[in-house]
Amino acid sequence: MSPTLFPRPEQLTIPVHGETAEFPVNRIFCVGRNYAAHAAEMGVEVDREAPFYFTKSAANAVLTGCEVPYPPGTENFHYEMELALAIGASAFRASPEEARAAIYGYGCALDMTRRDLQIRERQKQRPWDLGKDLEQGTVLAPFTKASDWGPVAEQPIWLELDGEIKQDATLAELIWSCEEIICHLSCYYHLQPGDIILTGTPAGVGPILAGQSIKGGIEGLTSVSLKLCKE
C-alpha cells in the first residue's frame, strides 16, 4: 500500500455472533418510508411504484453502546429503529434467489436523524444529507448470520426511550421485503460484501434529549443502544 500523508481512517467493523472475524463496513444504504404507518406520521403517502434510498457514510457509523454528544445544528434529534441487512456476496441485477443468498446476516440499527433539517431540506426539494448523514448518526449492533435467524416474518421490532416503549411494530409491516430491496437496489449498484442496507423505520419516531438513552430490539437479534451525554 502507498504511504499516506496522514493515517488512513480506521474502518468500522461489526462483530458477528459465532465468528472471531468481524464484518467490515463499506457502504450504508437506507430505504425511505418502508412502513405505511411511519410514512403517514411523516405526512406523506406510500406508493408501491418503487423503493427509494438515501445513503449514510460508513465513517459516520458507530458500534452500539456508545455515549455521544447531542449533535450540532438541530433542535429536533430523532431516533429511528431499523432492521439492518449485512451483504456478504456480490449482487448486480439480482434475482430473488440471488438477493436472498447475498444476505450474510441481520442486525439492529439506529438511523439517527436531524428531523428539523431533514424536513426543511425536503420542503426545499434539496438532498437530505444534513438531516441524515450526521456524525455518529448510524448505530449498529452485532450481526447474526442469516442461517442462525430468520426468515424475516412477523418478528417484533421495538424501541424504548428511557425505558418507555416508543416504537412497537412487526417486520410483517415492511412494505418492500429484504429480497425486493436488494433486487431493486442492485439494478443501480454492484452490491458488495461489506455493504449494509437499513430497511426503514416503523411508526413512533420522536425526539431524544441530552442525557436520555434509547434501546432498540428485534426478536432474536442483539439489541442496539445509544446514550446522549448530559449537556
Interface residues with Mn ion (CB under 5 A)?
80, 111, 201
Taking the least distance from each CB to Mn ion, the nearer of 80 and 179 is: 80
Taking the least distance from each CB to Mn ion, the nearer of 111 and 195 is: 111
- Give residues with Cβ within 8 angstroms of 19, minimum separation 6: 145
Phi, psi of 183 (to 5 degrees): -55, -45
Cβ 198 vs Cβ 138: under 8 Å: yes
Q: Identify the CA nearest to 140 among candidates 9, 8, 11.
A: 11
Cis peptide bond prior to 151, omega within 30° of 0? yes
Phi, psi of 91 (to 5 degrees): -145, 125
Cβ 184 vs Cβ 94: under 8 Å: no
Taking the least distance from each CB to Mn ion, the nearer of 150 and 202 is: 202
Residue 183 Cβ vs Mn ion, minimum distance, rounded to whole Å: 20
Taking the least distance from each CB to Mn ion, the nearer of 62 and 101 is: 62
Residue 80 Cβ vs Mn ion, minimum distance, rounded to whole Å: 4
Residue 151 Cβ vs Mn ion, minimum distance, rounded to whole Å: 22
Residue 49 Cβ vs Mn ion, minimum distance, rounded to whole Å: 19
Position of minimal CB gap to Mn ion: 111
Taking the least distance from each CB to Mn ion, the nearer of 98 and 111 is: 111
65 grid coordinates: 453502546
Residue 32 Cβ vs Mn ion, minimum distance, rounded to whole Å: 7
Taking the least distance from each CB to Mn ion, the nearer of 98 and 117 is: 117
* CA separation, residue 183 to residues 23, 90, 200 (Å): 22, 12, 16
Residue 78 Cβ vs Mn ion, minimum distance, rounded to whole Å: 9
Cβ 88 vs Cβ 103: under 8 Å: yes
Please state, as a whole number, how many other Cβ atoms lie within 10 Å of the Cβ of residue 25.
21
Strand partners, 168: 158
